[in-house]
């Protein structure tokens, strides 16, 4: 039998997950597969586009020699049932803490980076006894990395989940954006308390605030405006950003901690094929006092969490199609997919799609190894 040589450079990944407790009975019985080996196998397989427990086990069988460059795998590769049981019973709260610590090490933050916070329901997690889980994530749009998450049992609980998430991540010097669900006085206060700034969308759930903003834009002089135009996907979009920084006497707005600007975004879209026009107006409040041009970028970049995170989880990792209904399986596999997505985003040398990167990771061991090495050195 050939001697197994273990290369320990991947310990920079696994060291972040050392606090995890193995949910299995490891002191008695026939314990064959260490938790670190299962985690590394599952991450490597997910990174390569393998999605189900069966796929992960098959990846392990196909890539056993490669996996043994990092860990012994003395008992071979665990079955899909073993993999499934581990992720079902793994402490998801502790896994999330480990994930956040690992992600914060990857993120190269600069002042005024935008952190978008938004939620996504994992459809395949529902069963007869429980609703589908709703995961609220923080996403750094500048480098495309997920920073952490909090899980709730329904979308309406985003209001309480967002402050919990803010307590877990660092937002100092950053701009935090949310949709209308996150437009709450407590959330604005929490962001400022964490030494960040906020841009919050205002809709009907804050009716009096919205009405006061509309009055301000109908009666006050706009302090600054910025117009941008984009062409693509068969349409021309004109975007007008208007800002008011002086709104003394608007008593209803005083409940918002640190509020310094009101923003109105008017989007005019012309469909080239039909020549039809449509217009949309949205309102925001912010603790920043800056130009309309500088407001335009973070407001637009908020939707990166929908387009680059949620969409990728559904399309690239088939998240909603996976039936993980028991215990913590859906939440833990969601974090595993986000780890893989973060690692793939770190490859900025290849200006290719996620599909291209995953396919290359399937077939080219050296590329997969390079991805893992890059995530170690950040």
Instruction: Give pLDDT tens digits for 73-94.
Output: 999 999 999 999 999 999 999 9
253 assigned to some structural domain: yes
Of the three residues 290, 314, 341, the one that is the final residue of a domain is: 290
Tens of pLDDT, residue by residue over 117-161, are 999 888 767 666 777 888 999 999 888 899 999 988 777 788 999
Same domain, 204 and 280: yes
Q: Which residues contact 191 (CB under 8 A, 6 or more apart)?
A: 166, 171, 176, 197, 198, 287
261 assigned to some structural domain: yes
- What DSSP line would sit under 251-297, residue for residue? GGGGGSTT--EEEEEEEEEEETTT--EEEEEEEEEES----HHHHHH
337 assigned to some structural domain: yes
Same domain, 273 and 354: no
Work out the widest C-alpha separation in the chain, in whole angstroms: 83
Residue 5 is predicted with a pLDDT of 39
pTM (predicted TM-score): 0.87
Contact in structure between 157 and 119 (CB atoms under 8 Å): no
168 assigned to some structural domain: no
69 assigned to some structural domain: yes
Residues in the chain, pLDDT under 70: 1-12, 26-30, 107-112, 124, 126-128, 233, 249, 320-322, 325, 376-378
Of the three residues 290, 306, 336, the one that is the final residue of a domain is: 290
Same domain, 333 and 264: no
Same domain, 285 and 204: yes
359 assigned to some structural domain: yes
Same domain, 284 and 218: yes
**In the chain, how many domains are there?**
2
Query: What gap in Å lies between CA 252 and CA 212, rounded to an integer?
Result: 7
Same domain, 29 and 75: yes
346 assigned to some structural domain: yes
The per-residue pLDDT of the chain, averaged, comes to 87
257 assigned to some structural domain: yes
Same domain, 332 and 282: no
Of the three residues 238, 262, 290, the one that is the final residue of a domain is: 290
88 lies in which domain range? Answer: 8-94+328-377
Residue 111 is predicted with a pLDDT of 57
Same domain, 339 and 275: no
């Amino acid at each position: 039998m050939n001697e197994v040589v273990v290369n320990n450079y991947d310990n920079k990944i696994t060291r972040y997950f050392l606090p995890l407790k193995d949910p299995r009975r490891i002191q008695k019985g026939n314990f064959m597969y260490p938790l670190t080996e299962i985690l590394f196998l599952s991450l490597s397989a997910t990174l390569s586009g393998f999605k189900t427990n069966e796929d992960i086990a098959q990846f392990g069988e196909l890539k056993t020699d490669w996996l043994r460059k990092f860990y012994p795998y003395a008992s071979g590769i665990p079955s899909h049932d073993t993999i499934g049981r581990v992720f079902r019973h793994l402490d998801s709260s502790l896994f999330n803490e480990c994930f956040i610590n690992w992600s914060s090490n990857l993120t190269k933050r600069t002042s005024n980076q935008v952190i978008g916070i938004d939620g996504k329901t994992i459809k395949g997690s529902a069963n007869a006894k429980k609703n589908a889980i709703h995961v609220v994530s923080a996403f750094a749009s500048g480098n495309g990395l997920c920073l952490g998450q909090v899980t709730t049992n329904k979308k309406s609980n985003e209001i309480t989940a967002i402050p919990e998430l803010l307590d877990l991540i660092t937002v100092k010097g950053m701009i935090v954006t949310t949709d209308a669900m996150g437009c709450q006085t407590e959330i604005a206060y929490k962001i400022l308390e964490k030494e960040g700034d906020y841009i919050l969308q205002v809709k009907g759930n804050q009716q009096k605030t919205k009405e006061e903003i509309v009055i301000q834009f109908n009666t006050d002089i706009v302090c600054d405006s910025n117009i941008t135009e984009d062409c693509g996907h068969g349409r021309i979009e004109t975007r007008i950003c208007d800002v008011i920084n002086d709104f003394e006497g608007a008593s209803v707005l005083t409940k918002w901690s640190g509020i310094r600007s009101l923003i109105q975004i008017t989007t005019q879209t012309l469909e080239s094929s039909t020549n039809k026009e449509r217009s949309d107006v949205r309102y925001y409040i912010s603790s920043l006092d800056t130009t309309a041009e500088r407001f335009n970028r973070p407001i637009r970049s908020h939707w990166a969490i929908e387009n680059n995170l949620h969409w990728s989880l559904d399309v690239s990792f088939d998240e909603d199609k996976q039936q993980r209904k028991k215990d913590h399986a859906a939440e833990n596999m969601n974090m595993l997919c986000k780890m893989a997505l973060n690692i793939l985003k770190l490859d900025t040398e290849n200006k290719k799609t996620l599909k291209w990167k995953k396919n290359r990771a399937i077939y080219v061991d050296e590329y997969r190894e390079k991805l893992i090495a890059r995530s170690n050195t950040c």
